[in-house]
């Protein structure tokens, strides 16, 4: 999955905002390390995009509908066989 840089930037900004301005060198170091750490976490989470998720939901829905149709068809065929 491609990492959402806007979300990552927002996380880094929030962490950075919590550090007093008097610690500018530390603040820059924390920003850099926070970004690297956050990127690593996101990569390990094996996330999918919303678009990929929505596609999978649609595919699952279609598959479930097809299974229902096939189950109905099987039931109809079984009834025909039993009635002969």
**Rg for the chain, CA atoms, rounded:** 26
Per residue in 17-58, pLDDT (tens digit) is 777 777 767 777 777 787 788 778 777 887 778 899 999 999
| Domain definitions of the chain by residue range | 1-47, 49-84
Alpha carbon 39 to its chain's center = 15
Per residue in 17-28, pLDDT (tens digit) is 777 777 767 777
Cα–Cα distance measured from residue 14 to residue 10, given in angstroms and rounded to the nearest whole number: 6
**pLDDT (average), residues 62-74:** 97
Q: Give the HSE-up count for residue 47: Cα atoms under 13 Å, Cβ half-sphere.
A: 13
């Amino acid at each position: 999955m491609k990492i959402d840089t806007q979300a990552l930037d927002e996380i880094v900004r929030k962490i950075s905002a919590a550090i007093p301005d008097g610690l500018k060198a530390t603040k820059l170091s924390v920003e850099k390390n926070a970004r690297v750490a956050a990127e690593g976490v996101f990569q390990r989470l094996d996330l999918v995009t919303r678009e990929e998720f929505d596609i999978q939901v649609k595919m699952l829905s279609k598959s479930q509908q097809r299974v229902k149709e096939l189950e109905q068809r099987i039931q109809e065929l079984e009834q025909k066989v039993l009635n002969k």
